[in-house]
Each structure stands twice: as structure tokens, then as C-alpha cells.
């Protein structure tokens, strides 16, 4: 390796280092994975602290084959979807009311700005008292957490639509509703999508917390029961599932952005 | 002597009629009892120093600003082109042009307007991919497609490079001849006013300070004697020559302060570059 580096001339790098660009980025994680497997295999780390990658894979496989993972995954997805649907709708409606009219802003903005400073996860005890221990408090937690990023971003987005463009369009004889639907809301869409990405992150976080309290199903429940039986492998499977779900959600929003914001120079391919 | 397109009858009813317009922004009147008529198919340049109220007048005529005092008669068919193109970035060029157009053949008309400004090949483009000149031509097409009887141009070429500006000036003249709207062009550029307009209106202190016909044959050239004479007259009306002298010969400023000097000789005759006021 040092020899290769020594013979390397500027602008011309040795083949071994230029070819697998993707592999180079994976090299360190892969090395760590091997090291991890070896450490557990040689007994340097106790499996009670952390299982080996192969044990995790096995647990993953078992949970998948038994159908257990799918059941919990569906339950969790259902909770996130319901919570997101409520939270995004509420945030959107509030942002439209406050963003599109001065009176709406007076009525809503101060209140929502006050409420948003409240860490919503701290409401769990109150939610249990209000909604019991069924599905409602879990969905409510997700809804409450996701409404604020949507509200804040969409409200700001509506208010920062280019006033000069709006003024020019107002000379073209559009009705107020057409102006809102065709110019102001599409103009606020990038901000909305940023809010949606934040909201998805908050949604998973809320779900993790919500499912660790009195749940009888869901990924969080899977992790909590695994703790009872010292099944660290199952706990890590649950963590990985959360991570993959978060990644997928982000990917979906980025795909939406790519389609909805094609007019932006960053996305235009010419 | 009129150079407006011949199908416009002389002495017809004005398409714009402003009487006693007053606009107050808190400290003094920006528009102070202003009156102005525009004939159908006429091309009027509106000149004046920064802050003289010419943009406020144009915005009032575009119904973007209120007219709290005085009467303003306007045609319904109005269109505005601003200094910036102000296209909607998330609509393709053609959609921008036809926006708000309520007629079944809107698309065909939009394409025709784009063809007229030489932008057919960009109909499907996103506005942010256009050059400055292309975007401003799209804005012109968006105005043109509405078949305006009053076309308001608010320094539409000010942000363009010199060559693009010359081409755009030619285009505006061609479009005006073809469609014969009454045009009100707000500009800082005396040469631009003399190239395009058949009437120059100079504003000062919220009123029309001078109303100068420009009876020059078209096409017009910078070096023509009539052009040069009108140019120095307009500059005098705008008070440029005195400023110019004050800048060049500060030692004479005191002498001039003691008594007014005859105007009209401020700039070398035939100077090609227009002073920016």
C-alpha cells in the first residue's frame, strides 16, 4: 500500500484505489462488522451485552419466517400512518389558516408557537390518563409531534412566497382561490416537504416512546419483551427495523421532492 | 404629426384619463394633483428622477396601488411588464403566458405570442432555465397575449445587458406597431424614450412637469439632428446638465448658485451613452 502510494503520480492514481469507489466507502463499516463478529466469536465481548452480526441475522430470519416481525411491523406502520395523517392534516390546516389571513395568524400563531415549545413526549403521562393505554395515546403522540414541524414550515413557506411574483400574477385576472391554489401553495411546497421530512423523523421517535408504554404489539413491544428475556439480538433487530423505516420514509419524501420540484435548477437536467 | 399605427383614429377618446390624482405616503405627496391622458395606440415615455413618483403612477394605472383622491379611468384590458420578469418558477413558460387567460384557445394564443417574441422553442422550458433576455421576452408574451389596450412597462430593459436591451427595444417597437396598445414606458434612459416613444412626459414633484412630443420619423437613430436636439431638451427638463457641470467643474458651482445659467449645453452633442438618472 505504501509502495502504491509512493509510485502514485499526480492525476494518475493506482487502479486498486480508483476502481471500487462504492466499496471504498463501505470498507470501514465492513471492517468493523468483521471485527465485531470476531470479538464475539472469540469471546472478547459477552453475547449478553451484544450478540454477533450472524446471531442478529439469525434472529432476523427467525422473526421473519415466523411472521412475528411482519405482524409487529404492520401494527407500527398503522400507528405511524394514522398519527401522521392526523398530524399532517392538522398542521396543514392551521398553517393555511394562519398563513393566508392576518386574522387567522392572530388567532392561531401565538398559541401554536407557545405549544410547540412544549416537549411533546413529556405529555405521555397526561395522554395515558386521557386516552387510556390503547391505540389512542400512541397515535395522539405521533399526531401531536408531527403537526408542529408541518405547521411551522408551511406557515413560513406561505409567507415567503416571492411577493413580486404574486403581485405580477395578481395583474393577470386570477381569482383569489386560483392565486392560492396555483401560485401560493405550490410556492410553499418546498417548505412543506422540508416540514414533512422533519415530521417523519419525529413520528418514528414518538412511536418508539409510545410503544414502550403498555403496548401489546408493535416493534417497540417486540424490543420491550425481548428485554425481559435478555434477547439482545431481538432488541437490535428492532433497532435496525426502526432505522430502515426511517431511511425509507426519508427516501420517499426525497422521491416526492424530485417529482414535485422538477422546476428547481438543482433538479433540472439539461 | 403622429407615428402611431394608422388604424388608430386621431383625436379619439383617451384610453387612460387621470385627473387630480393625489397619493400621500406620510411625508408629503408623492402624487400631487396629477393629470394625464393617453390616446389609444400612443407610445408615451414617462421620465423623471428617482423618487419623483413615476413608479407610483404606473402602479396606480396597474391597479396595484390605490387612487384615494382624484379620478382614474382605465381600460379593462391592461398588462404590465416589470423590471424583473416575475415569471412563476414552477410553471412552464407557456403556462406562465396563458395564466389567467379564460378562453378555449388560450394555448394556441400563448404559442402565437411566444412565436411573436421569438421564444417558441422555449415554450416547455422552466423559467429558471431562461436567460435574462428570454425571461423578459416571456414576460412580454404574457402581457401581449391579453391583447391589452394599455401596456404598462416599468423599466423593462433596465436589468438587461446592452445588446439584449437593444434587441428588446426593437421587439417592443415591433409589437407596438403590430398590436397598437397604448404604451406607457417608465424609463431612466433618455435615449430609450427617444428611440421608442412619440411623447415624453417628465414628472417632478408629483406632477407632470413637461409634456414633449417626439415627432421623429422611424426608424430612429442616435446621431440624427432632431434626436440630438430633443435629447438635450429632455436632459434639460430632467436637470441633468446642471448636475453634470457641477460634477465636472465644482469650482463653477458657486458661480451658478449665485445666478441661473442657460441650460441645454450640458453634454457633448451626439454622446452615445445615455446618462442614468
Measure in Å the smallest separation between the Cα of B81 and chain A Cα atoms.
8
Q: Tell me which residues of chain B have a pLDDT lower than 50.
A: 1-7, 249-277
Angle made by CA atoms B146, B125, B184, in degrees to the nearest 5: 30
What is the C-alpha separation between B197 and B46, in angstroms, rounded? 9
**ipTM of the complex, rounded to two decimals:** 0.77
Q: Across the interface, which of B86, B90, B126 has its CB nearest the CB of A168?
A: B86
Distance CA A109, CA A120 (A): 18
Does residue B62 belong to the interface with chain A, where contact is any CB pair within 8 Å? yes
The structural domains of chain A, with segments of one domain joined by +, span 61-260
CB proximity A173 to B under 8 Å: yes
The pLDDT of A70-92, averaged and rounded, is 94
Q: How far apart are the first and last CA of chain A?
A: 41
Please list every residue in chain B whose beta carbon sits closer than 8 Å to the beta carbon of residue A187: 90
| Residues B100, A173: C-beta atoms closer than 8 Å | yes
Among candidate residues B214, B220, B239, the one with its CA nearest the CA of residue B44: B214
pTM reported for the whole predicted model: 0.76
pLDDT in tens, A124-179: 888 888 988 888 999 999 999 999 999 999 999 999 999 899 999 989 988 889 99
* pLDDT tens profile B179-194: 899 999 999 889 999 9
CATH number for region A61-260: 1.10.3720.10
List the domains of chain B with CATH numbers: 41-65+76-237 (3.40.50.300)
Tens digit of pLDDT for each residue in A166-224? 999 989 988 889 999 999 999 999 999 999 999 998 998 898 888 887 778 888 888 88
User: What are the DSSP calls for B6-27, one per residue?
Assistant: TTSPTT---SEEEEEEEEE-SS
Q: Residues 89 to 128 of B: which have CB under 8 A from any A CB?
A: 89-91, 99-102, 126-128
**Mean pLDDT over all residues of chain A?**
86
Amino acid at each position: 500500500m505504501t509502495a502504491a502510494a509512493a509510485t502514485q503520480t499526480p492525476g494518475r492514481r493506482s487502479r486498486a484505489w480508483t476502481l471500487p469507489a462504492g466499496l471504498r466507502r463501505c470498507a470501514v463499516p465492513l471492517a468493523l462488522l468483521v471485527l465485531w463478529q470476531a470479538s464475539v466469536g472469540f469471546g472478547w465481548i459477552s453475547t449478553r451485552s451484544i450478540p454477533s452480526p450472524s446471531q442478529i441475522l439469525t434472529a432476523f430470519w427467525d422473526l421473519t419466517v415466523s411472521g412475528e416481525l411482519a405482524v409487529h411491523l404492520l401494527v407500527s406502520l398503522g400507528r405511524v400512518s394514522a398519527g401522521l395523517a392526523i398530524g399532517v392534516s392538522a398542521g396543514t390546516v392551521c398553517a393555511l389558516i394562519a398563513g393566508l389571513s392576518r386574522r387567522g395568524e392572530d388567532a392561531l400563531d401565538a398559541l401554536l408557537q407557545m405549544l410547540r415549545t412544549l416537549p411533546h413526549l413529556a405529555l405521555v403521562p397526561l395522554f395515558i390518563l386521557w386516552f387510556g393505554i390503547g391505540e389512542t395515546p400512541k397515535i395522539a403522540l405521533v399526531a401531536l409531534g408531527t403537526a408542529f414541524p408541518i405547521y411551522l414550515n408551511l406557515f413560513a413557506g406561505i409567507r415567503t412566497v416571492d411577493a413580486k411574483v404574486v403581485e405580477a400574477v395578481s395583474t393577470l385576472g386570477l381569482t383569489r382561490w386560483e392565486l392560492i391554489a396555483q401560485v401560493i401553495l405550490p410556492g410553499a411546497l418546498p417548505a412543506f416537504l422540508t416540514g414533512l421530512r422533519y415530521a417523519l423523523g419525529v413520528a418514528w421517535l414518538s412511536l418508539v416512546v409510545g410503544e414502550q408504554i403498555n403496548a401489546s404489539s408493535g416493534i417497540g413491544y417486540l424490543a420491550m419483551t425481548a428485554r425481559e428475556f435478555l434477547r439482545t439480538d431481538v432488541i437490535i433487530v428492532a433497532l435496525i427495523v426502526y432505522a430502515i423505516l426511517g431511511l425509507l420514509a426519508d427516501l420517499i419524501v426525497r422521491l416526492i421532492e424530485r417529482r414535485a420540484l422538477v422546476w428547481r435548477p438543482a433538479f433540472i437536467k439539461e | 404629426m403622429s407615428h402611431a399605427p394608422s388604424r388608430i383614429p386621431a383625436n379619439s377618446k383617451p384610453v387612460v384619463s387621470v385627473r387630480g390624482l393625489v397619493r400621500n405616503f406620510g411625508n408629503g405627496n408623492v402624487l400631487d394633483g396629477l393629470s394625464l391622458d393617453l390616446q389609444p395606440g400612443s407610445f408615451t415615455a414617462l421620465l423623471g428622477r428617482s423618487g419623483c413618483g413615476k413608479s407610483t403612477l404606473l402602479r396606480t394605472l396597474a391597479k396595484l396601488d390605490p387612487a384615494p383622491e382624484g379620478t382614474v379611468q382605465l381600460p379593462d384590458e391592461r398588462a404590465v411588464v416589470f423590471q424583473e420578469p416575475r415569471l412563476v418558477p414552477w410553471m412552464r413558460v407557456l403556462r406562465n403566458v396563458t395564466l389567467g387567460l379564460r378562453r378555449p384557445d388560450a394555448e394556441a394564443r400563448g404559442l402565437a405570442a411566444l412565436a411573436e417574441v421569438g421564444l417558441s422553442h422555449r415554450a416547455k422550458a422552466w423559467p429558471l432555465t431562461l436567460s435574462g433576455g428570454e425571461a423578459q421576452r416571456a414576460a412580454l408574451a404574457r402581457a401581449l397575449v391579453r391583447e391589452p389596450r394599455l401596456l404598462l412597462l416599468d423599466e423593462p430593459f433596465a436589468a438587461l445587458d446592452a445588446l439584449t436591451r437593444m434587441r428588446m427595444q426593437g421587439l417592443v417597437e415591433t409589437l407596438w406597431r403590430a398590436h397598437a396598445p397604448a404604451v406607457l414606458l417608465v424609463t431612466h434612459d433618455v435615449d430609450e424614450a427617444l428611440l421608442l416613444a412619440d411623447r415624453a412626459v417628465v414628472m417632478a414633484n408629483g406632477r407632470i412637469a413637461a409634456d414633449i412630443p417626439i415627432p421623429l420619423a422611424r426608424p430612429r437613430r442616435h446621431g440624427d439632428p432632431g434626436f440630438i436636439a430633443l435629447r438635450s431638451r429632455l436632459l434639460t427638463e430632467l436637470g441633468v446638465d446642471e448636475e453634470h457641470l457641477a460634477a465636472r467643474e465644482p469650482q463653477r458651482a458657486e458661480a451658478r448658485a449665485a445666478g441661473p445659467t442657460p441650460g441645454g449645453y450640458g453634454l457633448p452633442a451626439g454622446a452615445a451613452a445615455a446618462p442614468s438618472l
